[in-house]
Amino acid sequence: MNIVGIQGSTWGKRPFFSIMNALGLHSAVLWNADVSAERYSRIHDSGATLFQDGKHIRSIDEARLSRIKYDGSWPHRSIDYVLGDLTREDIDLVVYAPSAVHICNQETSNGEVGKYIKREFPNAKLWFVSHHLCHAASAALTAPFNSGSYLTLDGMGSSTWDFAAGVTKGFENNSIGYFDKEKGLLTNFMLKSGPGENSFGDYYMNMAVQTYDMAKASKIENDMFHYANKEDYEDVVMFSAEGKIMGLSAYGKETDKNPPYTHSNEFALDVFGIDKYDYGTSWINFHKYSDVFDYIRELGKDDAAYYVQKHYEDAIVKWITQLREDQYLTENVCFAGGCFLNVCANSLIKPLFDKTWIPPFPNDSGIHFGAAAYGSFKSKERIEMPANIALLGKSYDDYVPEDAEYYEDFDILCEVIAKAIDDNKIVGWFQGRSEHGPRALGSRSILMSPKRGENKDIINQRIKHREYWRPFAGVTLEDRGYDSPYMLYAQDVLTDDIPAITHEDNTCRMQTVNDELNPRLCALLRKMDPPVLLNTSFNDNGEPIVETPEDAIIGFKKMDIDLLVIGNYLLCN
């Protein structure tokens, strides 16, 4: 949509067509990890997204630029990055999404956010939009269907306020809603929230941290090396333990020590007792956390992880099935929120509906994206996304690395790389626009052959320095029997020739690509036999994925990667 305006203060001056610039932001305004003693303080995944006239321009998380994993600082680097040649005066609308952390509550209630953003963006209107509405917009407005319902689940969304009393009443932790993009509709209903109630994300995070505490006991000194202090390390564990424990769960089994799914305490009747609440929706009450901590301490780490994952899967499938039966969720449904990074649970949820959609950034990377998309959508813009919805950052096509060999013909470069991978070399792969969201999907990836089982340990020990139990994902062409363009599902492995990416339970987090989504990765895969690669993110443990070619070259040298491909250039270590 173009807005017709009149330049200057005198009516009758030259009319012009201005572009509607909508900026989505997620952060606390006064938090700056560069100068704070603590880097995290529970604020995480700040960043910025720009839409122009409904067309997506760029998105980035601050962490990619500051190089502080999960950075939650005011995203000044991200704002510069997404604005490009625009100035802060060019922004017409800022859509701001707070987090439910202490500093955000303070800043929002004392008016600091409004004052700060008005100073930064003097010509912009300012909208405050809830965290869950942003998650919802990130899913609904990128979904490949026009209308349907959505479910948002995460650890915690925005605070809810008693404005008269000036205090927080609670937090979003699950929401449902409905959308119709043709009609401009996107409605949000916050469901019941409270200690233990429907708190899927909070429950899983707490159980995962406890389980990881058992698993890492002998490893903490080593891991701590990356962090300035113990508090920073613990914050990073809190943000990352869920994925680690999901991987570990495949090594565990059900034991007779597992606690029953029923119990009684001050909150709960029965962990699987479905009751009706708020809008008449069903809800699930989880075990009292301290009871579960007592249970899982008696299990070994593997069985504890199995219990946490299985319990979570059973609960989420039962609850979502009930929501569907009660017609709160429709046949076309979107999911967003950090809970939908759980690829094992996602695979169980998908068959419950005709059509499902999870954006490539279901975590809080989707918040500033959703904020900007919502602002554009509600300004009656038609949302326009690139073909590959995951590639929302910059490309660096003009970059010319030093001491590199240039290949005019990219196909020949792919032949060289395919041969090297077959010789068991490790390859850094830097191509095109950077990915938005937590997964490397072939733009900022480390690639290796999946054909040798020991490659998992080689990459873990030599490159990624991660726990032995964490599986590596794969990527293949879309006609190979898998279906997951954004690496959001765990799927059964169909052949026995890719042991390095076959997890303990015979599944793989396989990404599928085609020429429209990622032509350069397809070109390489077509040179491989079988056309499958181990694909892991281009970063060391504890660091964000690389963003720029310079980041990639630093990582290439530090991580002892054999070869690095940047565009049509090849570098050798």
Site residues (vs Fe ion, CB under 5 A): 154, 364
Least distance in angstroms from the C-beta of 172 to Fe ion: 8
* Encoded tokens for 360: 């490539």
* Encoded tokens for 389: 């919805």
Least distance in angstroms from the C-beta of 398 to Fe ion: 36
Q: Which is nearer to Fe ion, 303 or 364 (CB)?
A: 364
User: DSSP secondary-structure letter at 330?
Assistant: -
CA distances 252 to 201, 247, 293, Å, are: 21, 10, 17
Q: Which is nearer to Fe ion, 91 or 133 (CB)?
A: 133
Least distance in angstroms from the C-beta of 131 to Fe ion: 6
Nearest-angstrom CA–CA distance, 488 and 482: 12
Closest residue by Cα to residue 118 from 204, 181, 25: 25
Q: Which residues contact 11 (CB under 8 A, 6 or more apart)?
A: none
Nearest-angstrom CA–CA distance, 129 and 496: 48
Least distance in angstroms from the C-beta of 112 to Fe ion: 22
Least distance in angstroms from the C-beta of 339 to Fe ion: 9
Nearest-angstrom CA–CA distance, 476 and 404: 28
Nearest-angstrom CA–CA distance, 172 and 410: 49
Q: Which is nearer to Fe ion, 134 or 349 (CB)?
A: 134
Q: Which is nearer to Fe ion, 131 or 288 (CB)?
A: 131
What is the DSSP pairing of strand 507-508 with strand 332-336? Answer: unpaired
Least distance in angstroms from the C-beta of 370 to Fe ion: 10
Closest residue by Cα to residue 371 from 147, 45, 84, 90: 45
* Encoded tokens for 573: 């270590």
Q: Do residues 321 and 136 touch, judged by C-beta distance below 8 A?
A: no
Q: Which is nearer to Fe ion, 363 or 535 (CB)?
A: 363
Q: Which is nearer to Fe ion, 53 or 364 (CB)?
A: 364
Least distance in angstroms from the C-beta of 136 to Fe ion: 11
Least distance in angstroms from the C-beta of 256 to Fe ion: 36
Residue whose Cβ sits closest to Fe ion: 154
Angle at 56 between CA 54 and CA 60, to 5 degrees: 140
Least distance in angstroms from the C-beta of 231 to Fe ion: 22
Q: Which is nearer to Fe ion, 201 or 567 (CB)?
A: 201
Nearest-angstrom CA–CA distance, 354 and 10: 57
Report DSSP letters for 222-257, one per residue: HHHTTSSSHHHHHHHHHHHHHHHHHHHGGG----TT
* Encoded tokens for 391: 């590639």
Q: Which is nearer to Fe ion, 337 or 401 (CB)?
A: 337
Q: Which is nearer to Fe ion, 161 or 272 (CB)?
A: 161
Q: Do residues 304 and 252 touch, judged by C-beta distance below 8 A?
A: yes
